[in-house]
Amino acid sequence: MLEGLKDSVLLANRRLVSSGLVVLTWGNASGYDPETGLVVIKPSGVDYDRMSADDMVVVDLGGKVVEGSLRPSSDTATHIEIYRNFAGVRGVVHTHSVEATAWAQAAREIPCYGTTHADTFHGSVPVTRTLSESEVEEAYELNTGRVIVERFAGLEPLAVPGVLVAGHAPFTWGKSPADAANHAIALEAIARMARLTEAVSAASPVPLLAPYVGEKHYQRKHGKNAYYGQSAPDGGNG
Amino acid sequence: MLEGLKDSVLLANRRLVSSGLVVLTWGNASGYDPETGLVVIKPSGVDYDRMSADDMVVVDLGGKVVEGSLRPSSDTATHIEIYRNFAGVRGVVHTHSVEATAWAQAAREIPCYGTTHADTFHGSVPVTRTLSESEVEEAYELNTGRVIVERFAGLEPLAVPGVLVAGHAPFTWGKSPADAANHAIALEAIARMARLTEAVSAASPVPLLAPYVGEKHYQRKHGKNAYYGQSAPDGGNG
Amino acid sequence: MLEGLKDSVLLANRRLVSSGLVVLTWGNASGYDPETGLVVIKPSGVDYDRMSADDMVVVDLGGKVVEGSLRPSSDTATHIEIYRNFAGVRGVVHTHSVEATAWAQAAREIPCYGTTHADTFHGSVPVTRTLSESEVEEAYELNTGRVIVERFAGLEPLAVPGVLVAGHAPFTWGKSPADAANHAIALEAIARMARLTEAVSAASPVPLLAPYVGEKHYQRKHGKNAYYGQSAPDGGNG
Amino acid sequence: MLEGLKDSVLLANRRLVSSGLVVLTWGNASGYDPETGLVVIKPSGVDYDRMSADDMVVVDLGGKVVEGSLRPSSDTATHIEIYRNFAGVRGVVHTHSVEATAWAQAAREIPCYGTTHADTFHGSVPVTRTLSESEVEEAYELNTGRVIVERFAGLEPLAVPGVLVAGHAPFTWGKSPADAANHAIALEAIARMARLTEAVSAASPVPLLAPYVGEKHYQRKHGKNAYYGQSAPDGGNG
């Protein structure tokens, strides 16, 4: 069942490790198949180098395990809430990558200081609000998904393919598991660049990138007339 | 004698190196066998890539070498003091990993700024007091163990599986040598995240993680009803 | 056509990745053949580990593709503008390497704080002005090249083999693609050293390197009587 | 001639690269044979992965090449000046490792903030004065050695096995080329730890390590009654 998607999800999970974004078992990637309405996700707390495609767990949008002998990631309900609300999303990634997590812990949006940021994120990288005590106690992972969706009111998820959950860590997404992993890698680099920019800047606050430059970069990769990459105007090769 | 434990201790030592926590020979891991009351520990000052399981040294809780042709780690007395006082601990790790050592040198507890921290440490990472001159001169390594134990009055060692020795570096522990190594890896990441959180925060002091979020994260991994990992409620797979 | 140059360009591109300067597909290297007046450049948005020398694209100085089935780098017009204006340049590299990009985003020149800097850059690493809105909208990549050339009025490009494009990232160049890649690697190290120097300095502003020391270092590698390396007085082996 | 020493020098040079201390060709290691009074040193500007033991250059204490077809390191005169003045030194290493170079560029001694420092350096890591203009112009590398020796008036070189040359970078030494390389690795870690300690410290200035703790650590590795390592009281296995 969903063999190709399982391979893609396994590869995305491994990529998080090889890119240095995941320490121990702190991360997970999933993929969504719109035809069957099923999600393929990493099992919880399993070592990355021992995982095979067969270990991937298949769940439906209600969170019920449809296939697989292992428990799904403890963050499964968050992934599902993203798939249920963000049209066109086919992959979700969660990591505790250090630089992005620092901004999440500081509950601070990452401002757009340069074209590297603008190439991937259309505007600041948003931060959710903190969950209330009852939201944490009752259905924590589902409510984590809900505050993400709440924060994206008025935003286009595929144009801003990631978020910082306050006090926690980043989630990213995309048109495939590989795309979501690329956005996790990009977010970590952007978070680091923003921190270093503030460290070396002579001005305070650091001036933002001129909006027309950011727009140009975003559009040359993702707009109707995109000309970056081999498959433009899609331009989705990161 | 204790062949399985020797293998576990060797693997934990190698893991510290492959995880980038150990420079030169600055680190050691040990394991404790409660049936025999013996400790297996790395030999002192030996290159990690030349060590075999047979090089591991077996000592009793009095510090006497029971088996092995090499000298045990110069920090053996500290390891023993931890095993003698912290019930349930079966592995101890000592490193000079850079980020955790910076907090130790600053003699500053690591505050809980996020869920990564709460997943592993139930509360701040504590710091010992500085040893007195006579404590240093008389039985330095034993007294290092004693100030660690002293600092844990009122704390549950398996819920706070590590400490920063002021002016020195971290010690971590766990239910096995592998568990202790995982906690050393987690501590280094947490120390780095805390430093970067303070660097990017717009607020000073940086607000701590809401206690009910930290409690949730700690309990979903380690509590009675833990649901993280495949072996929950034990949840001990890091 | 230009097989040797294609190999050199491929190797320079791979070197950027193996040196940790390139994340995802954020970088490109090219080479220029003065006899034919042609430029060999990396294709746009292609994974580095799948590229072969045959994938390199050949363009003329008007930007027209002369050979190759893939689209050239989206930054091709910037590379060409550099070759058209900077005599003796035979290789150009563009990356979003983190430390250099931080200075570019801060729109701050990198001051010469030490001999590592002086060995490669004769004076500060310059920053361009920000492009105007019409320069961005009309011929963005060409105009990026133009503001680079504009900034080098009165400077010797081969003595200052790189620039920070404000809000964007660095470009470096040299007498070959390998030389340009070496300068990208050197620039990243210099940018990091400058940031750390400011972080640990007790004086503010940090005193610059004594000019006569910088001159000595630059000349011993690049001057008429250079004595660094095996091929001095050329001294171009970095 | 001196085949064993050539191997040791080659290995020390390679170790600098594998430890991440050397970028491009920015570093060199040498060894001294007291019986013949000859120095074996890396050739200038040669790629580390192409070097063989036969490429090592043999020079006498006057700087004359005795054997070898390549030019010796451009820093040879500095190495020789160290061998001529520091009794017992049999290996010298020079790198531009980033963290140590930052302190050198800031012309700031590295204070002893912890036991990692005290294990290798007996007291602060010293900084030389800046060379005068005539010292730079006349015999730059020799005079670099002279200001190092001048700075060590009253210090024991084997107890403080390294120095920061102001505006330049570190030199370290030891009882063998391997020992000098170990000290370069230790110095880089210590420099980084000191920077991070200041970054996280709540106190300013950061309190130094209690002198009796530093003394204990230094003596347990290097003193008459050293008990660290397998070959104590020598204790020289780092």
What is the pLDDT tens value at each position of chain A, 238 positions in all? Answer: 899 999 999 999 999 999 999 999 899 999 999 999 999 999 998 888 889 999 999 999 999 999 999 999 999 999 999 999 999 999 999 999 999 999 999 999 999 999 999 999 999 999 999 999 999 999 999 999 999 999 999 999 999 999 999 999 999 999 999 999 999 999 999 999 999 999 999 999 999 999 999 999 999 999 888 888 887 543 333 2
Interface test with B, best of A49, A74, A101, A105 (most B CBs within 10 A): A105
CA distance A119 to chain B (A): 22
Collapsing DSSP to helix, strand or coil, D78 comes out as helix
Q: Residue length, chain D?
A: 238
**pLDDT for position B228:** 82
- Chains in contact with C, where contact means 3 or more Cβ–Cβ distances below 8 Å, are A, D
**pLDDT for position C38:** 98
Omega within 30 of 0 (cis) for the link into C170: no
Q: Which residues of A touch B (CB under 8 A)?
A: 23-26, 43-46, 70-71, 74, 96, 98-99, 101-108, 130-131, 133, 136-137, 140, 167-169, 194-195, 198-199
Check if A119 is active-site. Answer: yes
Q: For residues B47 and C172, which has the higher predicted lDDT (pLDDT)?
A: C172
B227/A140 Cα distance (integer angstroms): 12
**Residue C174 CA, distance from chain mean position:** 7
Please tell me which of the candidates A114, A185, A220 has its beta carbon nearest to residue C24: A185
Give burial (CB, 10 Å; 0-12/13-18/19+) of C181: buried
Q: Which of C119, C140, C212, C218 is catalytic?
A: C119
D23/C183 Cα distance (integer angstroms): 11
A165/A172 Cα distance (integer angstroms): 11
**pLDDT for position C164:** 98
Residues from chain D contacting residue B136 (CB–CB below 8 Å): 210, 212-213, 216
For residue B82, give the nearest of B159, B40, B145 by alpha carbon: B145
**pLDDT for position C232:** 55
B95/A218 Cα distance (integer angstroms): 45
**pLDDT for position A235:** 35
Check if B228 is active-site. Answer: yes
**pLDDT for position B237:** 30
pTM of this structure: 0.96
Which residue in this structure is represented by tokens 């769940």?
A59
For residue C195, the chain A residue with the least C-alpha distance is A200
Which residue in this structure is represented by tokens 């000349």?
C219
Residues from chain C contacting residue D131 (CB–CB below 8 Å): 213
* Residues B185-197: tens digit of each pLDDT: 999 999 999 999 9
The pair of structure tokens assigned to B234 is 């034990």
On whether the CB atoms of residues B107 and D207 are closer than 8 A, the answer is yes
Which residue in this structure is represented by tokens 């003698």?
B84
Least confident of A156-170, A186-200, B221-235, D185-199: B221-235
On whether the CB atoms of residues A133 and B212 are closer than 8 A, the answer is yes
Q: For residues B111 and A48, which has the higher predicted lDDT (pLDDT)?
A: B111
- Does D228 score more than 50 pLDDT? yes
Q: What is the ipTM of this complex?
A: 0.94
A135/B155 Cα distance (integer angstroms): 29
C43/C6 Cα distance (integer angstroms): 12
For residue A190, give the nearest of A143, A125, A131 by alpha carbon: A125
**pLDDT for position D234:** 37
For all residues of chain D together, what is the average pLDDT?
A: 94
Confidence band, pLDDT 50/70/90 cuts, at residue B208: very high
Which residue in this structure is represented by tokens 């954020």?
C26
Q: Residue length, chain C?
A: 238
For residue B140, give the nearest of D225, D236, D217, D221 by alpha carbon: D217
Phi/psi of residue A179, nearest 5 degrees: -65, -45
Exposure on the CB side of residue A133, measured as CA atoms within 13 A: 4
Least confident of A196-200, B71-75, D140-144, D222-226: D222-226
- Does D3 score more than 50 pLDDT? yes
- Does C132 score more than 80 pLDDT? yes
Interface test with C, best of A115, A120, A183 (most C CBs within 10 A): A115
Please tell me which of the candidates B186, B209, B230 has its beta carbon nearest to residue A43: B230
For all residues of chain B together, what is the average pLDDT?
A: 94
The pair of structure tokens assigned to C86 is 């900077």
Q: Can you give the C-alpha Rg of chain C in angstroms? A: 17
* Residues D159-176: tens digit of each pLDDT: 999 999 999 999 999 999
Q: Are the beta carbons of A105 and B189 separated by less than 8 Å?
A: no
The pair of structure tokens assigned to A208 is 């933002």
Q: For residues C226 and C169, which has the higher predicted lDDT (pLDDT)?
A: C169
**pLDDT for position D237:** 30
Mean pLDDT on B69-94 = 97
- Does C39 score more than 50 pLDDT? yes
Q: For residues A232 and B231, which has the higher predicted lDDT (pLDDT)?
A: B231
A88/A66 Cα distance (integer angstroms): 22
- Does D233 score more than 50 pLDDT? no
